[in-house]
Amino acid sequence: MIPVLLDYTTKLKQNLSRRVVAPDFFGFGRSDKPRQDSTYNFDFHRNVVLHLIESLQLTNITLVVQDWGGLVGLTLPITDPSRFGRLIIMNTTIGAGAGKSQKVLDWIVYISSIPDLDVADLMGKLDHHLSEDEKRAYRALFPDDTYKGGVRHFPQMIMIEEDMPGVEVSRDSRRFFETTDTFGPHMKSLACMFKHGCYYAEIEEASHFVQEWGDQVAKLAIDVFEMDGSVAGVQEMKPKDM
């Protein structure tokens, strides 16, 4: 669901056995990029991921989500909770139809105004550490505007209105997690979101696309899971009184 550099996880502890499944949404990465605008809707992408989970018979899932991976991914456990064991959540939210901030509106307008957006240029502005080779790799995935349907239409799927697709299942998912708030700008609101609490850490040099620091995320996650949160730089967040 996010392009974490999977090689990093194999360098952490050679004795660990982990299966990593990291699909790209249709319209992104190495996935097919449908040209019909109608393909890019919340239900289609959610159902694709659910079908993948069922087809691969995945269980004991550690769900890793960021950005749209969270808007879609955090609605998955409610469908079959028995398949999911843990969550790693990075800079995302649970859609609720109440996201009409000026920043969100400006982002939707900005993307809509550039049908042939240079994805590599955008990524370079957001992640200044990217090398020219890495930016070229991003650009290679979108040779021309016919490949950019997902880039253009995903922002339009952001749930800013209460009647938009995905709002109902997102609200059901919030109740499932026993939370009444969406995730705050710096994710610290996770402190009071989940009924069993959670662990919180910041990667100071990381930008919005935290998956570019996949090695650090993977190391923190494995350490937390193995040592029950007793890890330097990780804070245990107690659940609020429900």
- Rounded CA separation 119/143 (Å): 10
> Is pLDDT above 70 for 157?
yes
**SS3 for 207?**
coil
**Close Cβ partners of 100 (under 8 Å, ≥ 6 residues apart):** 160, 161
Whether 220 and 7 have beta carbons less than 8 Å apart is answered as no
pLDDT digits (tens, 9 = 90+) for 49-75: 999 999 999 998 888 888 888 899 999
| Lookup result for tokens 């993307």 | 111
* C-beta of residue 70 within 8 angstroms of C-beta of residue 93: yes
Per-residue pLDDT tens digits for 158-198 = 888 888 999 999 989 888 876 555 555 545 554 455 556 67
Residue 31 structure tokens: 């996935």
Orientation of helix 132-140 relative to helix 119-126, angle to 10°: 140
Tokens 């330097």 correspond to 232
Domains located in the chain, CATH noted: 7-98+162-237 (3.40.50.1820)
* Average confidence (pLDDT) over 136-149: 92
pLDDT, tens only, 84-94: 888 888 888 78
pTM over 0.85: no
